[in-house]
Structure formats: structure tokens, C-alpha cells
């Protein structure tokens, strides 16, 4: 009588189970690692006022002043970036403007340092730091929309600098100025007869 060999399933089945367990474990570890790194903690140090004064205002001024026209007794003169160094400087300022948009949206950022206030905050219609914070909390969607428009305008400046396009630089600069003014009028001096001197 011949013997019928028993099915040899034990070893492959054990191996398959072991591999499955490793796959599940690896996925769990991967998911846990992803959840830890997907949203890195932000360390908020500077205030909105400090970002405006130290990053946005200087970069915006340099960008606006990089293209200008003047008329005098000698006629019309146009100032614009021409050399590699001048265009690189414009690009650097434009990138700083573009990326500062994200800095303004990080939760937990105060409007001004403790004990300090904003320019002309004692003038009627111009909000102090607490007033600006309250206005942003009341309508965060509007604040976010202004920041998004600001980012788009700054991105136009980046593209203009990369393409060395003077006309686009002028248009992007005008759009940036309009967006900044509209946001300030909404959240900084909503009822002022005259905008603060910056």
C-alpha cells in the first residue's frame, strides 16, 4: 500500500502569516511616524507687527522702488532693474514677500509684543493691538482671504522677477499695494479719516 503524502501547507502558511504581521506592523509604524511629522509644531516668536516692520515693509519698499518714473527739467527718466545683481535683489525681496504670507497665518501669533502698541493707535478710528486681534477673531475668513490675495500678488512679483518683466513688476506691485491697503483698512484702521503714517 502506498502512502499519500500529507499536504505541506504548514510552513508556507506560517511564513505568510509572519509576513502579513510584518506588513501590518510596518504600516502601523509608518502611519504613526507620518502623523508625528505631517504637522510639525511651529515655534511662534515674532509678532505680526514685527513681521510687518522687519520683513514685509522693507521688502515691499525695495520692490516698489525698483521700478519708478520721474519727470524733471531734464525730461522723463525711468528706473528699472537691469543688471543680474539688481534682478536678483528684486527676486529676493519678492520671495520674502511671498513666503511671509504663511507667517501671518500661523495660529497663536500675537499682533504686537507685550506692552507695545501699533502706530497711531490713540487716533480715532485706528485700532490698538487688542482691537486688531479682536477684529481678526471676529472674521478669520476675511483675514485669510486677504492673506491669500497678498500671497497671489507677491507670487506675481516673484514670476515677474524671474522673467525680468518690468511691466509685470509694476502691475504686481500695484496689486500688492491695493491688497495691503484693503487689509489694513479692514483690520487696522477701519474708521480712520486718514491712514497711519508708516
Residue 62 lies in a domain: yes
Structure confidence at residue 18 as a pLDDT band (50, 70, 90): very low
Higher pLDDT, 22 or 71: 71
Residue 172 lies in a domain: yes
Q: Are 133 and 111 in contact (CB under 8 A)?
A: yes
How far apart, in whole angstroms, are the C-alpha atoms of residue 11 and residue 42?
50
What is the mean pLDDT of the segment spanning 65-82?
86
Pick the range with the lowest mean pLDDT from 15-24, 79-88, 91-100, 155-164: 15-24
Pick the range with the lowest mean pLDDT from 9-18, 118-127, 180-189: 9-18
Res 16 pLDDT > 60: no
Residue 2 lies in a domain: no
What integer pLDDT is reported at residue 7 of this predicted model?
47
Q: How far apart are the first and last CA of the chain?
A: 105
Number of domain units in the chain: 1
What integer pLDDT is reported at residue 25 of this predicted model?
45
How far apart, in whole angstroms, are the C-alpha atoms of residue 151 and residue 96?
11
Cell numbers 510584518 label which residue? 22
Res 31 pLDDT > 80: no
Residue 198 lies in a domain: no
How far apart, in whole angstroms, are the C-alpha atoms of residue 74 and residue 86?
25
What integer pLDDT is reported at residue 34 of this predicted model?
47
Structure confidence at residue 40 as a pLDDT band (50, 70, 90): low
Structure confidence at residue 154 as a pLDDT band (50, 70, 90): very high
What is the average pLDDT value for the chain, to the nearest integer?
84
- What is the extent of the structural domain holding 112? 48-70+78-187
- 3-class SS at 70? strand
Residue 168 lies in a domain: yes
**Which alpha helices (DSSP H) does 39-128 contain, by range?**
48-51, 57-65, 84-103
State the CATH number of the domain containing residue 182. Answer: 1.20.120.10
Residue 39 lies in a domain: no
Q: Which residues contact 148 (CB under 8 A, 6 or more apart)?
A: 101
Using one digit for the tens of pLDDT, what is the confidence trace for 114-134? 989 888 888 888 999 999 999
Strands in the chain per DSSP E: 68-72, 75-79
Higher pLDDT, 17 or 168: 168
Residue 120 lies in a domain: yes
How far apart, in whole angstroms, are the C-alpha atoms of residue 169 and residue 143?
25
Residue 133 lies in a domain: yes
Q: Which residues contact 187 (CB under 8 A, 6 or more apart)?
A: 127, 132, 135, 136, 143, 146
Kindly report the length of the chain.
198
Res 69 pLDDT > 50: yes
Higher pLDDT, 83 or 2: 83
Q: Which three cell numbers stand for residue 2?
A: 502506498
What integer pLDDT is reported at residue 21 of this predicted model?
46
What integer pLDDT is reported at residue 10 of this predicted model?
46
Q: Which three cell numbers stand for residue 5?
A: 503524502
How far apart, in whole angstroms, are the C-alpha atoms of residue 70 and residue 113?
39
Res 105 pLDDT > 90: yes
Indicate the DSSP class of residue 77: E
Amino acid at each position: 500500500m502506498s502512502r499519500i503524502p500529507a499536504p505541506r501547507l504548514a510552513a508556507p502558511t506560517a511564513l505568510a502569516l509572519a509576513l502579513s504581521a510584518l506588513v501590518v506592523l510596518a504600516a502601523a509604524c509608518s502611519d504613526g511616524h507620518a502623523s508625528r511629522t505631517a504637522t510639525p509644531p511651529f515655534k511662534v516668536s515674532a509678532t505680526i507687527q514685527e513681521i510687518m516692520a522687519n520683513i514685509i515693509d522693507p521688502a515691499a519698499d525695495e520692490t516698489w522702488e525698483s521700478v519708478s518714473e520721474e519727470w524733471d527739467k531734464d525730461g522723463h527718466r525711468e528706473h528699472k532693474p537691469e543688471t543680474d545683481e539688481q534682478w536678483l535683489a528684486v527676486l529676493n525681496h519678492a520671495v520674502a514677500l511671498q513666503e511671509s504670507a504663511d507667517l501671518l497665518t500661523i495660529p497663536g501669533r500675537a499682533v504686537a509684543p507685550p506692552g507695545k502698541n501699533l502706530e497711531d493707535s490713540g487716533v480715532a478710528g485706528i485700532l490698538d493691538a487688542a482691537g486688531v486681534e479682536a477684529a481678526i477673531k471676529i472674521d478669520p475668513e476675511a483675514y485669510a482671504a486677504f492673506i491669500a490675495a497678498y500671497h497671489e500678488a507677491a507670487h506675481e512679483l516673484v514670476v515677474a522677477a524671474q522673467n525680468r518683466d518690468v511691466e509685470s513688476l509694476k502691475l504686481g506691485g500695484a496689486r500688492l499695494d491695493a491688497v495691503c491697503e484693503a487689509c489694513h483698512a479692514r483690520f487696522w484702521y477701519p474708521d480712520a479719516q486718514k491712514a497711519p503714517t508708516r
